[in-house]
């Protein structure tokens, strides 16, 4: 199904290329931020510029993978509003999988191209010795960040089955992650930092894994073992969100109630 969706979009080559370009241009602000950070500042909140760049790169790569594999979730509320989700209930395939296979996110190619370039830049600029253990944790951290984001949007999608207006919540969540996800959270007021750790677990996407890798574990505001378990938190959060989705789907009564 993904191959067919991809080939369908290739029928309109110019639009296909423009969509990829839009996905890349959408991330220009992050590239500008990273460039200014490295050229104008020596660091931020006790983090060197190279260490902050690693946060930015890990968040962007995790987000790009989320868009590629789960990027249809934020639009689910609109499908519920239009009554399109009801047709998925009578097909012999899990509804969650149908949502993911509905269309191919062409703009994810642009997102990932920029994210991969920035990630490579961050690795080159880093002074860390990339041992097999660090590399394994880096990969796990990026995948865990993707799952944290997927868990958050899956939970919102579960709510969308009963409250279609949650499309506004999805937009708000995207803005929030884009605004704060690239900074060391210790530069924010403690109340805000705590909210982005314990209420909305944004810290688990890139801040905690990058902090463990760069030796800031003791200054992250949580025990080191909590920060180091960020990839497992992402996996557990996604499993929990899927269980919530299954429960919500069983109690779904249609857009008109």
Q: What is the CA radius of gyration of the chain?
A: 19
Tokens (6 digits) for 136:
């394994």
Q: What is the 3-state secondary structure (H, E, C) of the chain?
A: CHHHHHHHHHCCHHHHHHHHHHHHHCCHHHHHHHHHHHHHCCEECCEEHHHHHHHHHHHHHHHHHHHHHHCCHHHHHHHHHCCCHHHHCCCCCCHHHHHHHCCCCCHHHHHHHHHHHHHHHHHHHCCCCCCHHHHHHHHHHHHHHHHHHHHHHHHHHHHHCCCHHHHHHHHHHHHHHHHHCCCCHHHCCHHHHHHHHHHCCHHHCCHHHHHHHCCCHHHCCCCHHHHHCHHHHHHHHHHHHHHHHHHHHHCCCCCCC
Per-residue pLDDT, 257:
55
Per-residue pLDDT, 255:
64
Per-residue pLDDT, 38:
66
Per-residue pLDDT, 112:
87
CA 38 from chain centre, in angstroms, equals 24
Q: Which pLDDT tens digits describe the chain residue by residue (257 residues)?
A: 778 777 777 777 787 778 777 777 777 777 777 677 667 767 777 888 888 889 989 999 999 999 889 988 887 877 887 777 888 888 888 888 888 887 778 777 888 888 898 899 899 988 899 999 999 999 999 999 999 999 999 999 888 888 877 777 888 888 888 888 888 888 888 899 999 999 999 999 999 999 999 998 888 889 999 999 999 999 999 999 999 999 998 988 876 65
Instruction: Confirm if 212 and 236 have CB atoms less than 8 A apart.
Output: no
């Amino acid at each position: 199904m993904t191959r067919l969706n991809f080939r369908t979009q290739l029928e309109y080559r110019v639009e296909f290329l423009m969509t990829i370009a839009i996905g890349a241009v959408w991330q220009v602000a992050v590239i500008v931020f990273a460039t200014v950070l490295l050229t104008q500042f020596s660091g931020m909140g006790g983090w060197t510029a190279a260490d902050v760049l690693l946060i930015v790169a890990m968040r962007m790569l995790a987000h790009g993978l989320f868009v590629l594999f789960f990027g249809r979730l934020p639009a689910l509320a609109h499908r519920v509003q239009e009554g399109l989700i009801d047709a998925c209930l009578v097909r012999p395939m899990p509804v969650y999988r149908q949502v993911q296979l509905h269309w191919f996110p062409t703009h994810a190619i642009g997102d990932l191209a920029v994210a991969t370039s920035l990630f490579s830049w961050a690795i080159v600029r880093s002074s860390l010795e990339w041992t097999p253990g660090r590399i394994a944790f880096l990969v796990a951290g990026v995948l865990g960040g993707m799952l944290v984001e997927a868990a958050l949007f899956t939970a919102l999608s579960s709510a969308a089955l009963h409250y279609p207006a949650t499309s506004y919540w999805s937009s708000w969540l995207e803005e929030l992650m884009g605004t704060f996800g690239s900074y060391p959270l210790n530069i924010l007021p403690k109340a805000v930092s705590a909210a982005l750790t314990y209420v909305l677990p944004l810290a688990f996407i890139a801040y905690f894994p990058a902090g463990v890798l760069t030796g800031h574990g003791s200054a992250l505001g949580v025990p080191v073992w909590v920060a180091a378990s960020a990839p497992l938190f992402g996996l557990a959060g996604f499993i929990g969100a899927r269980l919530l989705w299954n429960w919500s789907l069983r109690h779904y009564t249609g857009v008109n109630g």
